[in-house]
Chain A
Amino acid sequence: MPTSEYQGSSVPLSFLGRSILSFRRNQIISMEGTQEQELEELELFQKHVADRFTGLLSSRPSSDGIDNILSIAWLRKLLDTFLCCEAEFKAVLIHGHNPQIAKPPLNRLISEFLDRDVKALDICNAISNGVESIRQWQKSAEIAIFALGQKPLGEGQVRRAKKALNSLVASITSEDKESNGNTSTERAWSFGRRSGALIKERSSGHLRSLSPSVSRNWSASKQIQAMSGNLVAPRGGGESSGLASPVYVMSNVLVFVLWALVAAIPCQERGSLATHLPVPRQLAWAGPVIGLQERIAEEWKKKEKKGSAGLLEEIQRLERCGQSLIELADSFQFPPEAKWVAEMEVQVAELSENCRKIEEGLVPLQRQVREVFHRITKSRTEVLDILDQAGKPSTPVL
């Protein structure tokens, strides 16, 4: 099957997946029916989830910004983490050939899980679309960088840069407005002196660059809520609940990862999501997940007040640099003073650096989102096949 195998990951996933699988298989052969062994494995899965998320949480702001939470690089790690957890989860769930999974109450949990998978796929698509928006913004920023890099710098180039930046900032802001559920036709144009330029852009259809990837009334926040709404921790914790526990853990991982993506990347209708997802604190793996959630939610609240867009670090920086360059452009006088030029060059350098990060990170991120999509689809099919098998008449009629 020609799957679009994802290759750019920092972890050799296919290798990891395979090794987990074969490990598991050997174990079944040698330890068939050993319940203790199984329990141990479930615990191991939870421990791995906890370890991986602790790793994500410990990404501290650094000077080069490589590891900053909600940066493109961090999101790529997050998706890697998801793919690892997913591979291990599948190994636990499928390769155990556990007949339990077709029987109540596990079959209900599994079918809820599969339903979450479907919703996750739509979110992946919406995120892919959001990544396209970022690419458009990058292009606008690059126009500004190009224009301000011209020598000698004249008023024409400054205006050109300002036009591109206005369109960039307005697009980020309007994306935010729209994605936060403000779908009414009258728009709140509160951009002060920039409004003139904005109307031009808006009326000429420049900003509404991409139509939504999913159906018109689809809402990322509703989907996330639907995914998390019926998440109930299995009674008795991890010990006695058997496979119910990893299903629960993996559901939480799925919901959290998608929630973080929706928080970071512009995405259709994503308002009112800054709330916490219900994760019981007492579980070992839940600690780091809750920690991450709190930090992202905090960011979200901060940005909500400022009324700005996607929490992705690079987007925020695009907006910030754009904004301050617009202000700088407003103070342009020909011939420019050395101080003005120096200031401009510093800001352009920051914007360029940010664009470089986007340029480098966006394609692999996009590929990874697709990989997540394909992986979820594949696992879902496999689980369904197993359920199907279990439900079929096992003996011929004769």
Chain B
Amino acid sequence: MNDLIDKLGECVEFGKINQASPYPPTMKGMPGADELTKEALEAGFSPQMILNEALIPAMNRVGNKFTEGKIFVPQMLLSAKAMNSAMKHLKPYFQNGEIRRKGVFIIGTVQGDLHDIGKNLTGMMVEGAGWEVIDLGTDVSAEKYIQALDEHPGAVCGMSALLTTTMSNMQPMIAAIREKHPGTKVIVGGAPLNAEFARQIGADAYGRDPQDDINWLDSIVA
């Protein structure tokens, strides 16, 4: 593939945000995802190609390395940040429709729960996989999901819960959402959950980690 696209992918994979950012030390002083995306656009690469050939595969590698325990949360956050600095340049093309995303993913931490690190990571990674992500924050009620679905009909919902006392809010929330928006697809995640629980509460899937979520999302739009 092209050198510039490869380099951009590497910046995202290893969390090199821009020229000024000191991490990773081996890339010190070199251009980062920010500069290289700009350069790639100026060199005439299509925004869609930048997304599909550089950013998404890089984030995919990051997600897999995290699943395999080869990298930790700090590295993942930096990759997501590098991706954001690339996305900033692509934004106009999302708005004018030149780049198509895979769909809309609405994510939040359920009512009563304030843990948001896993939810944020999942949102960032899904965005990096080519989805538009609407993050509703923490302590999110069914009503808020319904409002977001009113604005984005057909969007897929993701719910996070880290507490045994709040995972029980998921079932009534899913029911309330589907009453207003029948057929809405829901994936749930968070440390205390498992696939069996997800099945019992009527969710369509359980995501152990962001990559798991992305693989499932890709499977339903394929």
Partners in one complex: no
A residues adjacent to B (C-beta < 8 A): none
